[in-house]
Structure 1
Amino acid sequence: MARLFGATGDGIARLEESGGAWTVEQSLTGTGAQCVAVDPHDPDTVYAGLREGGVRRTRDAGRSWVDCALPEPGVFSLAVSPADGAVYAGTEPSRVFRSDDGGESWRALDALLDLPSRPTWSFPPRPWTSHVRWIAPSPHDAELILVGIELGGLMRSGDGGASWQDHRPGAQPDVHSLAWHPLVDGRAYEAAGGGAAFSTDAGETWQPADDGRDHHYTWSVAVDPDDPDCWYVSASTGPFAAHGGGDPQARIYRRRDDEPWRPLTGGLPEPLPSMPYALLAADGRIFAGLADGQLWETRDRGDRWTALRLEGDTLGRLVALAPA
């Protein structure tokens, strides 16, 4: 039986697969949950990042939650390292915190704030600030971390956050999501406001990957766990279409073996009714969570998609997904 956790922008949803349907059970309703991360070593331990309430943790798969007392309230990104279990939280204003005891205590990785580019960091809707949109600890090296600032750049640390390299050559600066390949050391992927990029040298340098795709405002990224040359992005024509609540002008694309991007349409509604905010590779499938709460899956690398039947609590929105 598969299980996913989703952030809805309001709370956290636990989705359990059983008998051809998925049962939705909501918790933390009304907290403004923006992001979610599951401990890869304990699927019942889940962290929720709240827009104004810091980090909450559950050790019983969402039945009860505790406040982890993060020093900053505005959390936009979370990650649990597959390599050593460290928990990372990214906030607005842009800061990164690390916990080595499951969220009981935190230390700020504030060397990030010493980067020369910091004065230029600015999120266009709130230009006086910026935030850490994504944190990607390497599954192969516990000391290696990628961080995306919206809008500011893609930063890299090779020493667990004690020091940082500024925006990496070839990467897009308006970072929305990042991924590592789980098996192939050194392969990393980016979806950003100006397009997509990938790295073959553990995030030191990046190469653009935009050929064949006419929508360049990319949002979510996922990679086939068995094939580092097969990856996916969701994309729109721009931020107003993607987030404006009208026609998202959105597509899901696949890239394989250095071929141009291909839009995936088999089984998906055309046009898509809302932005695919969350792409996730898990359990031999690719899941797509939409801004209106729809959840789709493909079992054949995107050639054919199926809408999942959701039961239980109403799922009105999905902004992030995590596997359990």
Structure 2
Amino acid sequence: MTTIYAAMRNRLLVCTDGDGTGSDWTATAHLEGRDLECVAGSPAAPERAFVGTLEDGLFRSADGGDSWERLETDAFVSDAVMSLTVSPHDPDVVYAGTEPSRVYRSTDGGDSWTHLEGIVDLPSEDDWFFPPRPDTHHTRWLEADPFDPDRLYVGIELGSLIIGDVGGDEPTWRERPPGSRRDNHSLATHPDREGRVYSAAGDGFAVSDDGGEHWEHPQDGLEHRYCWSVVPDPADPDRILLSSASGASNAHTAATAESYVYRREGDDPWERLDDRGLPTGDGVVRAVFATTADGTVYGANNRGLFRSSDFGDSWDRVEIAWDDGLETQTPRGLVVVP
């Protein structure tokens, strides 16, 4: 059975494929009325998932999304949980990021949390800000390295890409490595390419081949450079899907939306994937993506939930109820647990 967690603006959709064929989906709504920001899960612990909210803290399910409990997070600086990730090395190790920017770690599946200190002591912190709420900033994305369990990539919106060594008693942080983006919205790594890191940022796409120490900016063919979600093909680290728009209002607001999906293969220019079954263009907010180990890609925008088995060449709608309220929402995150 496949379970998809789609974090929308004011509800979490838990979608299950009961017969495993992709043709018999059911969806239930949870955490309705909450202001959702992120979602995380792991195939290594398929019954467990986490959701972060803007004002109500952190929630966990231990039964595949059927029920949710609010976790005690006294260590957190606020109830604004903006990012989550589960370690690929140990599903009991979970990282959370907040607004204002802090990073926390649990080593017991979310029962208790420890503050990984030092983020806001970095020299560039005075320059960090989040434009809609300019007096603050937040940890927009967390990505654990699949080869080094002590290495953590942190995207601050807006201000910095940070590399963390979090294995010791006192974590160490290095900010703004050469070529890194400032407005990182999502980061990704590849399970078969050590050192490969991808960034989808408000100031463009970037890729690193040395664990984030240096970054390059292949932009040829990428006409829309306010980038949001990035996923590599599990079978080919040089094959990448990216959602993007020309700016924030075109990306996040349904009334003014105009977003697109691009694919890059090897050193070829980016190709815009229009008319493939996944809605793009006018009225469509930027998509969020998630992949499975077999290369299936799922994408969500305000028009629905979609599935591709050929890495973006064609998409089929996941047949779940999609009411009018969802047409105006911008998906916050997507997790697939096969």
- Match for residue 2 of structure 1? 2
Aligned positions of 1:96-135 closer than 5 A: 96-135=103-142
The AA in structure 1 aligned to 2:177 is: R
CA contact (8 A) 2:89 2:149 kept: yes
Runs of 4+ in 1 over 6 A off after TM superposition: 312-315
Partner of 2:185: 176
Q: Distance in 2 between matches of 1:47 and 1:270?
A: 29
SS at match of 1:207: coil
Residue aligning to 1:12: 12
Deviations 1:161-197 (A, max 9, x none): 7010011211110010000102221111000001100
Cα distance in 2 for partners of 1:35, 1:287 equals 16
Match of 1:242 in 2: 251
CA offset at residue 289 of structure 1? 0.5
Q: How does 1:140-159 map to 2 (within 5 A)?
A: 140-159=147-166
Q: How many aligned residue pairs are there? A: 323
Paired AA for residue 119 in structure 1:
D
Cα distance in structure 2, aligned partners of 1:314 and 1:35: 22
Q: Which residue of the partner structure matches residue 66 of structure 2?
A: 63
Aligned 8 A contact 1:44 1:60 in 2? yes
Cα distance, 1:293 vs structure 2: 4.9
Whole-angstrom CA distance in 2 between matches of 1:264 and 1:284: 17
Q: What's 1:286 paired with?
A: 297
| Number of the residue aligned with 2:194 | 185
Q: Does 1:48 align with 2:51?
A: yes
Give a deviation string over 1:185-219, Cα, whole Å, max 9, x none. 11110000011001100111111121111101001
**1:273 counterpart (283, 290, 303):** 283
Comparing 211-220 with 31-40, which one deviates more in the overlay? Answer: 31-40
TM-score, with structure 2 as normaliser: 0.91
Deviation for aligned residue 1:101: 1.0
In structure 2, the residue corresponding to 1:165 is in which secondary structure? Answer: strand
Answer yes or no: is the 8 Å Cα contact 1:96–1:109 preserved in 2: yes
Q: Which moved more, 1:111-120 or 1:237-246?
A: 237-246
Q: In 2 relative to 1, CA 250–60 (structure 1 residues): closer, same or farther, beyond 3 Å?
A: same
CA–CA distance in structure 1, aligned partners of residues 65 and 305 of structure 2: 20
Q: Which moved more, 1:219-228 or 1:55-64?
A: 55-64
What pairs up with 1:14-29 in 2 under 5 angstroms?
A: 14-18=14-18, 20-29=23-32
Secondary structure of the residue aligned to 1:240 is helix
**Worse-matched range after superposition: 202-211 or 145-154:** 202-211
What is the one-letter code of the residue matched to 2:53? Answer: L
**Residues of 2 paired with 1:277 and 1:319: CA distance?**
9
Kindly state the Cα deviation for residue 315 of structure 1 after the two structures are TM-superposed.
Answer: 7.7
Tell me the alpha carbon deviations over residues 252-292 of structure 1, each in whole angstroms, 9 at most, x when there is no partner. 000111111000122334535321331111253111100x2
Q: Contact 2:99–2:137 (CA<8 Å) still a contact in 1?
A: yes
Aligned to 1:256: 265
Looking at structure 1, the residues matched to 175 and 204 of structure 2 have their Cα atoms a distance apart, in angstroms, of 19
**Cα distance in 2 for residues equivalent to 1:272 and 1:287:** 21
User: Which consecutive unaligned segments of at least 5 residues does structure 1 have?
Assistant: none
Which AA in structure 1 matches 2:206? A
Partner of 1:320: 333
SS at match of 2:244: strand
Percent of residue pairs identical: 39
SS state at 2:103 partner: strand
- Residues 230 and 257 in structure 1, CA contact (< 8 A), matched pair in contact too: yes
Distance in 1 (alpha carbons) for counterparts of 2:88 and 2:324: 31
Superposed counterparts of 1:191-270, under 5 Å:
191-265=200-274, 266-269=276-279
1:309 aligns with 2:319: yes
1:212-268: CA deviation from partner (whole Å, max 9, x where unpaired): 111010011111001000011100011121123224221100011111100012233
Letter of the 2:89 counterpart: A
Partners of 1:222 and 1:233 within 8 A in 2: yes
1:65 shift after superposition: 1.9
- Give the CA RMSD over aligned residues: 1.8
SS in structure 2 of the partner of residue 233 of structure 1: strand
Q: Distance in 2 between matches of 1:47 and 1:83?
A: 17
> 2:111 is paired with a residue of what secondary structure?
coil
